[in-house]
């Protein structure tokens, strides 16, 4: 059994500590750092409730060890709101009534954010494929798709153009 020193940036804040190799990233985030916005659902890499963004990629945090996150840039649902202002995705989920019990919501939003960062003008079908690894058991997919669309339009309007879109130049 090995332990490792781990240092990762989460929502702009640097966190560090010693972890056992077998500690899953989701448990470090929730149980050690107490960032409980990220949920644990199925524990079988199926449901996506634990989805966070690691180095720009939507990631099921129950399927990565904490030690693997060393030096990486992480965003969790707590990183969406800025200065008391809801992120367009949060606003979209609110406006379109895209949640009932809310259990899948953090994962849905993080998957959607990583997706929108590469595609700000998605079709309904593209949204449905993008969130197909995230399960909602209240079966509110229709409104979730609407919420993601709402966010896409709002993000377009407010020009939250992602760096990765490669639109550089003067």
Partner 1 sequence: MIPDSFDYVSARSVAEAVTLLNKHGDEAKILAGGQSLIPLLRFRLAKPSVLIDINRVPNLDYIQEANGELHIGALTREAELDDSNLVRSRYPILFDTSTGVADPVVRNWATVGGNIAHADPANDHPATMIALGAHVVAIGPTGERVLDINDFFTDVPFETSLHSNEILTEIRVPAPTEHSGGAYFKLERKVGDYAIAGVAAYITLDSSGQVTFAGIGLTNVGPIPIKARNAEQSLLGKALDDASIHHAADLAAAASQPVSDTRGPAEYKRAMVRTLTVRALRKASARATGGK
Q: Which residues bind partner 1 (CB under 8 A)?
A: 1-2, 4, 20-22, 24, 43-46, 48, 51, 57-60, 62-65, 67-68, 70, 111, 115, 129-130, 132-134
CA atoms of 111 and 114, how far apart (whole Å): 5
Max CA distance (Å), the chain: 53
Q: Are 89 and 99 in contact (CB under 8 A)?
A: no
CB of 98 to partner 1, least distance (A): 18
CB of 27 to partner 1, least distance (A): 8
CB of 147 to partner 1, least distance (A): 18
CB nearer to partner 1: pick between 48 and 79: 48
CB nearer to partner 1: pick between 35 and 131: 131
What does residue 98 show for φ and ψ, rounded to 5 degrees? -90, 15
CB of 157 to partner 1, least distance (A): 26
Q: Tokens 């966070």 appear where?
A: 52
Two structure tokens written together for 96: 């379109």
Q: Is 14 helix (H, G, I), strand (E, B) or coil?
A: strand
CA atoms of 29 and 31, how far apart (whole Å): 6
Q: Are 49 and 104 in contact (CB under 8 A)?
A: yes
CB nearer to partner 1: pick between 22 and 137: 22
CB of 31 to partner 1, least distance (A): 11
Q: Tokens 């449901």 appear where?
A: 47
């Amino acid at each position: 059994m090995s332990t490792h020193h781990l240092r990762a940036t989460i929502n702009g804040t640097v966190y560090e500590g010693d972890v056992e190799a077998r500690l899953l990233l989701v448990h470090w985030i929730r149980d050690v750092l107490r960032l409980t916005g990220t949920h644990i659902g199925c524990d079988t890499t199926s449901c996506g409730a634990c989805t966070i963004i690691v180095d720009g990629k939507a990631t099921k945090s129950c399927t990565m060890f904490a030690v693997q996150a060393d030096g990486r840039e992480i965003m969790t649902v707590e990183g969406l709101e800025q200065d008391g202002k809801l992120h367009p995705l949060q606003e979209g989920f609110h406006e379109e009534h895209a949640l009932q019990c809310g259990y899948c919501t953090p994962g849905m939003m993080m998957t959607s954010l990583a997706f929108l960062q590469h595609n700000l003008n998605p079709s309904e079908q593209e949204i449905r494929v993008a969130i197909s690894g995230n399960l909602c058991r209240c079966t509110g997919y229709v409104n979730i798709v609407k919420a993601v669309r709402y966010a896409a339009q709002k993000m377009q309007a407010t020009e939250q153009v992602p760096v990765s879109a490669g639109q550089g130049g003067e």
